[in-house]
């Protein structure tokens, strides 16, 4: 028998944005499934929100599938998935090498922040289709840097750019199945994600004025906006401190590109 309450599965929920969201949803009457790599913080988060915990490596498909299966077995439904797991660059991409060819760079950041999100989205789509009423809501954490650039974090920035492409594409296609796919693009959020490796090596610890920080309540407000809006599909919601902006995709430069990208309005002109 499916749970009478809505069910949320959140990756990267042992702390930070994921935990903030879990706490609020629990207050709103949701059942919570925590998927987290760190067993200690993940279990503590699950205990706090009286939910369930699965230790998950988001870069491993079988590991993520286990979390979805655990959630389904416990509650019989999954209404909301928050693909939130992410890490900053784990090494200095620009570091000089003493040999040629240089050693292979680590792509762990893109595997977690992009590949992990793709796995989460794929699994969410299939479970949403099996809900008592087919459909559901998926939100993926991108970054404000994906709208601009982050020279000090090139792999992280590239991964978050990719998330926007994923969200816009899936959001457009899955709308017909009552599956809403959206993204949040936060600014500077105080979490334990850490600092860029380069800044750590330099001993630099930047500080921001209080009004420039995106706080827990700002993130939760953005999540609730997307959850509560039945017409939110493929929305990329930038969260800049207390302000939120729905960022539109780039305009087509001409009819040729519009045609190639499948805009029906363009087809009617040919």
Indicate if 264 belongs to the active site: no
The Cα 253–Cα 115 span in angstroms is 30
Strand, coil or helix: 35 = strand
Which residues are CB-contacts of 175 (< 8 A; sequence separation ≥ 6)?
233, 234
Do residues 83 and 121 touch, judged by C-beta distance below 8 A?
yes
Catalytic option among 20, 119, 156, 233: 156
Indicate if 20 belongs to the active site: no
Catalytic option among 6, 160, 161, 233: 160
Q: In this structure, how many other beta carbons lie within 10 angstroms of the beta carbon of residue 132?
A: 10
The Cα 88–Cα 67 span in angstroms is 24
The Cα 19–Cα 79 span in angstroms is 18
Strands 179-186 and 236-240: parallel
The Cα 240–Cα 67 span in angstroms is 31
The Cα 33–Cα 170 span in angstroms is 23
Q: Provide the annotated active-site residues.
A: 156, 160
């Amino acid at each position: 028998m499916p749970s009478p309450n809505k069910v949320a599965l959140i990756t990267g929920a042992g702390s930070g944005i994921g935990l903030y969201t879990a706490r609020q949803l629990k207050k709103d009457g949701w059942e919570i499934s925590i998927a987290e790599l760190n067993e200690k913080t993940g279990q503590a988060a699950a205990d706090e929100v009286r939910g369930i915990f699965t230790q998950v490596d988001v870069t491993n498909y079988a590991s993520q599938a286990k979390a979805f299966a655990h959630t389904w077995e416990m509650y019989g439904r999954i209404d909301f998935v928050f693909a939130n797991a992410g890490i900053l660059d784990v090494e200095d991409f620009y570091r000089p090498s003493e040999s040629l060819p240089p050693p292979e760079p680590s792509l762990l950041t893109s595997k977690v922040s992009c590949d992990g999100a793709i796995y989460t989205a794929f699994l969410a789509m299939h479970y949403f289709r099996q809900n008592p009423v087919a459909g559901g809501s998926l939100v993926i954490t991108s970054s404000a840097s994906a709208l601009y650039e982050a020279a000090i974090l090139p792999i992280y920035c590239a991964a978050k750019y990719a998330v926007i492409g994923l969200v816009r594409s899936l959001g457009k296609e899955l709308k017909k199945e009552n599956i809403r796919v959206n993204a949040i693009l936060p600014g500077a959020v105080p979490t334990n994600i850490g600092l860029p490796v380069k800044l750590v090596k330099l001993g630099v610890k930047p500080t921001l004025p209080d009004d420039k920080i995106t706080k827990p309540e700002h993130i939760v407000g953005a999540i609730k906006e997307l959850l509560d809006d039945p017409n939110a599909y493929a929305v990329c919601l930038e969260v800049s401190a207390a302000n939120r902006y729905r960022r539109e995709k780039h305009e087509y430069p001409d009819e040729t590109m519009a045609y190639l990208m499948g805009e029906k309005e363009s087809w009617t002109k040919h």
